[in-house]
Structure 1
Amino acid sequence: MTTLKQAWEHEQQQQQQIQLVTNTSNNNMSYSGSQIEDNINSNNNINKDEETSIVALNVFRAREEEIEKKKLEVREKVTAQLGRVEEEIKRLAGIRHELESLADPKRKEVTTVRKRIDTLNKELKPLEKLYQKKEKEYKDALEAFNQKNKEKSGLVSRLMELVGESERVRMKRLEELGKNIDSLC
């Protein structure tokens, strides 16, 4: 089989020969016997060349059809692959959406709880200061109370001692007076 380039070159040669024959026939209207035979032989060669070019053209067309078929097959495979890829993209997008929807409610709850904690922390700070102030006041008051109570206990003890001593002194004095009265009588 001839290659496409060879078939094209052959077709070009045939066209040049046909052009040459037509030019020659127009210029020379009279043919000699040998010229006619040469022209017939040349025409036979041209017919063989035409057949060769037709065969080459048919081969070329067959190859073009084969190439087109392969292009269609490849295009169909690519289209099928793209379809599968698009399906995978849709499936992955669905999975991503599900993941985001699962994460969203928890994220909202966490955010709400964190905000509430922050608010409570802000409220607790002044309360803690107030508590510490009140606790200090309480401790100071308790210490003062305990000190006064201790002082009172000390005074009560002293009072009891004084009262006890006073009673003894008075009793002693009464006894002395009672003895003095007894001695006078």
Structure 2
Amino acid sequence: MQKMKSLGNISYSGSLSTDENDEEDISRMAISTIQAKEEEIERKKMEVREKVELQLGRAEEETKRLAQIWEELEVLSDPTRKEVAMVRKKIDMANRELKPLGQSCHKKEREYKEALEAFNEKNKEKAQLVTTLMELLTESERLRMKKLEELNNILRSAKVDQ
């Protein structure tokens, strides 16, 4: 084609129009070839799309079938699932109830220990006071006995003098 163009340009005769016709034919052929290839591509694209849609349909059916099998497997694997769930729920409720009771128990235990400690301290204080009282009474009795003996001695010496 390049050769034809150069020949057509040199001669400037009637061959120029033949070259233009050839070029138009070549352009038409190229366009029709491109169109044919486009149509072929579109046809193959449609074939692939149909195959994909067919496989998607099969995949959806398979997914449904697997879901049914899964449900049957779940029921089969744990026939006491509801009972287990109910017992677990009761355990959770018992745990929730135990927590504040445990806290209350610890608080009261702490209060008991504090009260017992205060009681023991007061008991020791009382014991010390009782000991002190006994010492004071013993000392008081000793002093009174001493005084009585002195008085008795005074009386004896006054009797003797008489």
The structure that has the greater radius of gyration is 1
| Bigger relative CO (Cα 8 Å, ≥ 6 apart) | 1
TM-score by length of 1: 0.44
